[in-house]
Amino acid sequence: MYDYDLFTIGGGSGGVRASRMAAQFGAKVALAEERYLGGTCVNVGCIPKKLLVYASEFSDAFADCTEFGWTLGERSFNWQTLIANKDREIARLNGVYEKALTDNRVRILRAHATIADAHTVVVGSERYTTRYILVATGGWPTTPSIPGGELAITSNEAFFLPQFPSRAIVVGGGYIGVEFAGIFHGLGAKVSVVHRGELFLRGFDDDLRRALAAEMGTREIELRFNRQVARIEKLPRGIRATLDDGAALEADLIMFATGRTPTTHNLGLEQAGVKLDYEGAVVVDAYSCSSVANIYAVGDCTDRLQLTPVAIAEGQAVAETLFHGNPKTPDYENVPTAVFSQPPIGTVGLTEAEARERYGAIDVYRSSFRPLKHTLSGRDEHSFMKLVVDRETDRVLGCHMVGTDAGEIIQGLAIALKCRATKAQFDATIGIHPTGAEEFVTMRNKS
C-alpha cells in the first residue's frame, strides 16, 4: 500500500535511533538528511564541544603540575591541529551512524525532504508514500537582530574557525555560552560573557548558578550580567560590541549563544495540518504524535527536553509504539544533565525552589570544600554539593554539584533518584575515600 512503513526526516540522534529500531522490528524505512548524519550533537554540539573542553583543560593541568614535582619545558597550542583531529573523529562518527542505518537496511537519502500530505514525502523530483512520517529535524542557533549582527558567529561556526581568537565575547548564559567561555579561556583567550539576566543558567538550582559564577570569576572571566549587546562594529583589527549601558568591548570574535529554534520551516508541516507552537516547535502528545495521526516528531524540533539522550529515548519509544506492539512514552522525571563548564556542573532532580513549590517542607544540605588536589596545586577552586530532601518521606528530590567530574558523579546518583532513594539510605552508604563524591553520603547538617 505504501513505499515505506516509516519515512524519517532528519538524521540526528533521535531520527537515527527510531529508524534503526523500526527496521529491526521489521519495518521498511527511509531517512532523508540534507546536512550530516548524527545531527547537532555529533557534528556541532556535545561531541566536538567536549573534545574542545578536554583540550582547554590542559592549561590548568600545566599550571598545577609544578607543585606535584613536574618540570615542564616550552609549550604551545596549535588550534589548527586540534580542529583537524576533531574533524577526523567526527568523520569517523558520521560513518558509524551511516553503518548503523545501512546494516539495518534503512535507505538513506542525502537531500532535503518536504511533506506533501499526511502520507507523501517529496525528495527532489521523487515522491514517496509512507504509512508513518517522523520529523526529527532538530534545532538551529538564533541570533538577535541588531546593527552589525552579521559580524557575529554562533556555536556552529566556532567549531571551524580558521584562527583562534586572542579576545572573545560570548553572548548568552545557557549551556553553550558558559561552556564556550571556558573553552576560549582555557585555550588562552581573554573572555567576556554578556548575559541579559541577573545570573546565567536559568532553570538550574540558584546555588549552582552562584557557585559557578564565583568560580568563573576566580579565573578572570569577565561576567557582565543584566546587559545586552546593542550593536557591533567592525574595527581595523577585530570588532567592537557596544552594550545597552553604553559600555564598549573590543575583541577578535563575538559569539552569540542566545538560544536555538526548531528547524521546522520549509518542511510542509503546516500545509499537512501539523500544529506548531509559537516558536515553531511541533506540538506532540505523550507518544510523540503530532496533530496528524500518522506524523510523529522527536528531539529538538519539539518543545521538550533538548538533550541528546532524551531524543534517543523518544525515538526508541516511537519505534516501540508503532512497530513492536509496545506503546511506550519517555520518562522525563529525574533526567540528569551536565554543563561542561570549568568547573563542570552536574544535576538531577528538583531544584530547591521547585521542591519548595511542590512539596512545601523540605530539608536542604549543602557542602563547599577545596578538593584535595588543590591543597597542593594552590588553585583557588572549590567544589559545591547540595541535596534537596522531602521532609515528610525523607526521599531525596535533587542532587546538584559544581566541581571536578560532576557529570560522572551525578550520573550514578541519578540511578538512586530513579529508585526513590531516601536521605537515610544515602547516609547508610559508605563513601569511597578520598574522593569528592563521598561528600554526597557524608552530608549531615541541614542548612
Active site residues: 433
Side chain identity at 327, as an amino acid letter?
P
Query: Comparing C-alpha atoms, which of 314, 429, 440, 330 is closest to residue 388?
Result: 440
Residue 414 CA to residue 346 CA, distance in Å, equals 10
Full 3-state SS string of 398-442: EEEEECCCHHHHHHHHHHHHHCCCEHHHHHHCCCCCCCCHHHHHC
Alpha helices (H) in 187-271, listed in sequence order: 206-218
Lookup result for grid cell 572571566: 221
Q: What CA–CA distances, in Å, run from 96 to 41, 92, 102, 333, 434?
A: 14, 6, 10, 30, 39
Close Cβ partners of 147 (under 8 Å, ≥ 6 residues apart): 230, 231, 232
In the DSSP assignment, the letter for residue 384 is E
SS3 78: coil
Asked if 306 contacts 141 with a C-beta cutoff of 8 angstroms, the reply is no
CA pair distance 258, 170, nearest whole angstrom: 9
Q: Which residue has the cell 522527536?
A: 298
Q: What is the DSSP letter of 361?
A: S
Alpha-carbon span 81 to 87, nearest angstrom:
10
* Cα–Cα dist 293/273, whole Å: 10
Phi-psi region of 39 (alpha: psi -120 to 50; beta: other; left: phi over 0): left
* Interatomic CA distance for residues 310 and 300, integer angstroms: 9
Ramachandran region, residue 131 (left: φ > 0; alpha: ψ -120 to 50; beta: rest) = alpha
C-alpha cell at 297: 516528531
For the CA atoms of 352, 357, 360, 363, the dihedral, rounded to the nearest 10 degrees, stands at: 0
